[in-house]
Amino acid sequence: MSNETASEGVMVTINGMEISVQPGDLVIDAAERAGAHIPRFCYHPRMSSVGVCRQCLVDIDTGRGPGLQPSCMVPVSEGMVVDTESEGVKRVQEGILELLLINHPLDCPVCDKGGECPLQDQTLTFGPVESRFIEEKRHYEKPIAISDLVYLDRERCVLCDRCTRFAREVAGDPLIHFMQRGNQTQVLTFPDDPFNSYFSGNTVQICPVGALTAKPYRFRARPWDLSEVESTCTTCSVGCRINVQSSRGELLRYQGVDIDSVNHGWLCDKGRFGFEAVNSDERLGTPFVRSDSNPDELVGTDWNTALEAAASALKAASGSSVGVIGGARLSNENAYAWSKFARTVLSTDNVDAQLGDGLCAEMVMSLPRATIDDAATADHVLLLAPDLKEELPVLYLRLRGASQGSTKLIELAPAPTGLTRYTSAAHGYRPGEMGQALDELLGGATGDAMRSGRTVVVIGRPSLADSPGEVEAAVGVAQRLLPEATFLPALRRGNVLGALDMGLAPGVLPGRIANDGSSQAWIDTHWGSIPTERGMDTIAMLEAAASGRLHTLLLIGADPLADVPDRDLVERAFAGVAKIVAVDTFATASVKRADVVLPTTAFAESGGTTTNLEGRISTLGRMVTGPGTVRDDWTIAAELAWRLDADLGLESLPGIWAEIEAVAPSHARCSPSMLSADSEGVLVPLPVVAVPEPDEIADDDADTSEADTSEAEVDEEQAEGAAAVVEAPSVPASVSWSAPALVDPPAVDGYALRLVARRRLYDAAVHTSQASSLAALADDSTLRVHPAELGSLGVESGSRINVTTARATIVLQVTADESVPRGVASMGFNQPGISAAELIDHREPVTEIRIETR
């Protein structure tokens, strides 16, 4: 205990030892810090205390003599004397456990919790030797499925209120409750409502007995079989910390790790059960090349043949006629390898990690970045984002939690989202008019309130049916009217921010620097000469391909057919391009169109690092070996480079990271020891520590992650010879971005509805469809329209209708939904059987659809 805390703390005596603790701390936590573990079932540090299990009773003396009080309910006070080991405490601990075990079945050998069960462990440590109860135990029907993922065994339940409290307080899905009274009390769902929560897996992890078990892990292994490694979930870009557990070379379970800055121990079910996709039998295990005799067929081959085919496809293209799409699913090291490969070997700047469904890379990098904690503690959070509950579920949890405190959420969305009910104000806008709506909103009293406090703006694509320019213009408005605000980019793919940081975007080089000639001296010393002409982004590449100007397309874990919001463009591009080389883990729709397919490692099959949406870099753990002969992306890149008569100079993952540290100015000084020291990860760029003159550091706000993004300052510092930076050429300026002006919204077509297409958590993408437990959860393949609109069109809810745009006519089921605003139709972007991409024309600012009965 440092002197600092001692001076402001409260002095309490725990088991005869006097210690200083923070005022407001609970006795149970204070005792833990003093080295006295108090047994508990209901207490969970991330949820409110309820004191229902009575297991944590200890002797607390506040001057009126010792008495038994639940230590999870009592905050410390000055002079408090706590005894956790008195005779009375021992008797009560034994008594409570004996009572809990009256009805708890002793089926530990078949229980998934057996071996890691708090009830088992605490009974062994604190419990009675023998029970006096010889009566038959209470019996309930053995496990009942309360959702598609979770089983409930009520016999084992000790009524600690953890799962029900989690559902109510943390997830906001109060679908499980205590029912009945007295001896009949039990946890149950409502009769017709299963526990369909995106966060149901957390209840399994926090259940202190085996009452809640997860279907994907049911009877798969015992705790002592498992070996584990700490890693970071890359299902979305939130970057939840997890323990990856495997047995006999097979992934079996992910458990949330509690870190303060990101996930608080929680995970979404898609992340938690996503290991099934890694284990899938459909994984690509060998390379494939298109058959000479039958062009419709991909035939398995060896690496030598496939790499030779890939190299010749790339050799046939020049720098301007090759395009590299993808990389947002890779580790930083792999993304760096591809970025270097594209620039130095392919001599092209046509690289993009985003698939036309993201945001402008320069904008994301140049905006002052907020952290998740910043958002969760801000006075106001302005949501210009997609449905966070669907796309970044744990960020949703954090913001939902913040909204229960003093943080006000203000949403601007074309249709309600999962967070709408927790906002203090939710504003709608007609698709296409986001900038104008924001201008109006921030110009008024709401804007004044937001300007007076600390505001975080969450930015993303509220609808993939609208052009990204609309969001960029709106961000410009937010920047102009909220000059103090910081921004949290709500981009979805696992390591999309890391890929952008590694230079997988046109005009951007590793370390958030611009590839516009200004950084030439810097990059020359590291990479040699590279083209400085700005390349094309994904949409531009696809357009070039469609018009025959692109010879070879290299897809790195990208499925443009599913993800680019313009299916027609992708179809034309694939038809127009001579060769497609795909590096992927699954045979996605796009991979099936490729000429050469190179299989690669998936999550937990390779190490490295990943970057979350805050710019937090954390480590990935390697736990299992991939199927067949899969290789890491960076080895494929190195191998291809060698066949193209070049040498990437990359030899190992730590070696690549060392190179990233040297090449990427934003990642300078972020050493592997810093990364491995702390589960919390490292936020880059690190605050500048060079201290030649004190007045220089005053410019750097060490609290913001974008400490050195103001370009001019950095340049000046370097010119003055700041000691922090190693190399002779000065560190180039960070990328800059200027917001486009607001354009007039497109004219409203009175006969059409404007489409809002948003991704759902469980969709038709491989991460869901290849995970057997999750695949069935992807539903909602309908178009949602306000009932009044349906009434005026004379269409019945539930009927199948023709949906027509200039691009295509597709048949959809329509559902009346009062939450959808009038004039708008809402659908999932990529649900089984339907794809909004077929309807969308990327050149149009909005997507207008017409509904006709069939």
Nearer to other proteins, 107 or 258 (CB): 107
How far apart are CB 130 and other proteins at their closest, in Å? 7
Q: In the complex, what is the shortest distance from the CB of residue 342 to other proteins, in angstroms, rounded to a whole number? A: 45
By the rule CB under 8 A, 751 interacts with other proteins: no
Residues 6+ apart with CB under 8 A from 378: 370, 402, 407, 453, 454, 455, 456
User: Following DSSP, what letter does each residue of 555-616 receive, concatenated?
Assistant: EES--HHHHSS-HHHHHHHHHH-SEEEEEESS--TTGGG-SEEEEB--TTSS--EEE-TTSE
**What mask, x for binding other proteins by CB under 8 A, covers residues 94 to 123?**
-------------x-xx---xx--------
The answer to whether residue 222 forms part of the interface with other proteins (CB under 8 A) is yes
Q: How far is the CB of 129 from other proteins (least distance, A)?
A: 5
Binders of other proteins among 141-170, rule CB under 8 A?
A: 142-143
Q: Is 512 helix (H, G, I), strand (E, B) or coil?
A: coil
Q: In this complex, which beta carbon is closest to other proteins, that of residue 85 or of residue 107?
A: 107
What is the crossing angle of helices 520-527 and 653-663, to 10°?
160
Helix (H) or strand (E) holding 28: helix 27-33
Nearest of 247, 842, 266, 499 to residue 255 by alpha carbon? 266
Q: Which is nearer to other proteins, 251 or 464 (CB)?
A: 251
The binder of other proteins chosen from 78, 193, 225, 297 (CB under 8 A): 225
User: Of these, 24, 141, 184, 224, which contacts other proteins (CB under 8 A)?
Assistant: 224
Question: Within a 10 A sphere around the Cβ of 301, how many other Cβ atoms?
Answer: 18
Q: Which is nearer to other proteins, 40 or 104 (CB)?
A: 104
Query: In b/e form, how buried is each residue of 542-561, taking b as 16+ CB within 10 angstroms?
Result: bbbbbeeebbbbbbbbbbbb
Separation of alpha carbons 756 and 747, rounded Å: 17
The least distance separating other proteins from the CB of residue 94, rounded to whole angstroms, comes to 13
Q: Which is nearer to other proteins, 141 or 292 (CB)?
A: 141
Q: Which stretch binds other proteins (CB under 8 A): 217-225, 313-321, 809-817, 839-847?
A: 217-225
**For residues 563-622, which are near other proteins according to CB under 8 A?**
none
Angle, alpha carbons 156-157-162 (nearest 5°):
145
Phi, psi of 752 (to 5 degrees): -115, 160
- Determine if 129 is a binding residue for other proteins (CB under 8 A): yes
Shortest Cβ distance from residue 211 to other proteins (Å)?
A: 14
Stretch that binds other proteins, among 216-224, 343-351, 481-489, 831-839 (CB under 8 A): 216-224
CA distances to 335, 585, 651, 776 from 428, rounded to whole Å, are 37, 39, 52, 32
Does 216 interact with other proteins (rule: CB under 8 A)? no
Tokens 């149009």 -> residue: 844
Nearest to 204, CA basis, from 258, 243, 251, 166: 166
Nearer to other proteins, 107 or 533 (CB): 107
CB under 8 A: which stretch of 213-221, 351-359, 488-496, 647-655 binds other proteins?
Answer: 213-221
Does the footprint of other proteins cover residue 136 (CB under 8 A)?
no
- Shortest distance, CB of residue 168 to other proteins, whole angstroms? 29
Q: How far apart are CA 705 and CA 669, in angstroms?
A: 14
Residue for token digits 């050799």? 315
Closest separation in Å from C-beta 131 to other proteins: 11
Minimum distance between the CB of residue 151 and other proteins, rounded to whole angstroms? 10
Q: Which of 47, 50, 221, 742 forms a contact with other proteins (CB under 8 A)? A: 221
| Positive or negative torsion for Cα 51, 56, 60, 66 | positive
CA distance to 420, 579, 838, per residue, from 753 (Å): 22, 39, 16
Count of alpha carbons within 13 angstroms of residue 583, beta-carbon side = 30
Phi-psi region of 180 (alpha: psi -120 to 50; beta: other; left: phi over 0): left
Q: Whose Cβ is closer to other proteins: residue 228's or residue 595's?
A: 228
CA 288 from chain centre, in angstroms, equals: 31
Among 130, 281, 296, 645, binds other proteins (CB under 8 A): 130
Nearest Cα neighbor of 734 from 483, 499, 509 is 509
* Residue that is written with structure tokens 């608080």 in the block: 264
- Of 218 and 843, CB closest to other proteins: 218
Taking the complex as a whole, how short is the minimal distance between the CB of residue 703 and other proteins, in angstroms? 49
- Say if CB 288 and CB 597 are below 8 A apart: yes
CB of 143 to other proteins, least distance (A): 7
Using CB under 8 A as the binding criterion, the count of chain residues that bind other proteins stands at 16
The answer to whether residues 629 and 303 touch, using CB atoms and an 8 Å cutoff, is yes
Rounded to an integer, what distance in angstroms lies between the CA atom of residue 244 and that of residue 267?
A: 13
Nearer to other proteins, 250 or 779 (CB): 250
Question: Cβ 126 to other proteins, closest distance in Å?
Answer: 14
Report whether 609 contacts 333 (CB < 8 A).
yes
Among 219, 249, 483, 723, binds other proteins (CB under 8 A): 219
Binding part of the chain for other proteins, among 221-229, 329-337, 535-543, 559-567 by CB under 8 A, reads: 221-229
- Interface characters, 32-51, with other proteins (x: CB under 8 A): --------------------
Of 423, 420, 483, 419, nearest in space to 455 by CA: 483
Pairing of strands 455-459, 486-489: parallel
11 or 221: whose CB is closer to other proteins?
A: 221
Query: Of 658-697, which residues contact other proteins (CB under 8 A)?
Result: none
Which CB, 210 or 358, lies closer to other proteins?
A: 210
Q: What is the DSSP string of 781-802?
A: -EEEE-HHHHHHHT--TT-EEE
Rounded Cα–Cα distance for residues 249 and 268 (Å): 24
Least separation in angstroms between residue 57's CB and other proteins is 24
Instruction: Please state, in angstroms and rounded to a whole number, the distance separating the CA atoms of residues 604 and 421.
Output: 36
**Judged by CB, which is closer to other proteins: 224, or 751?**
224
**For other proteins, the closer CB: 115 or 740:** 115
Which of 218, 480, 800, 822 is in the footprint of other proteins by CB under 8 A? 218
For residue 225, the minimal CB distance to other proteins (Å) is: 7
**Of residues 247 and 704, the one with the C-beta less far from other proteins:** 247
Report the interface residues with other proteins, using CB under 8 A. 107, 109-110, 114-115, 129-130, 142-143, 218-222, 224-225
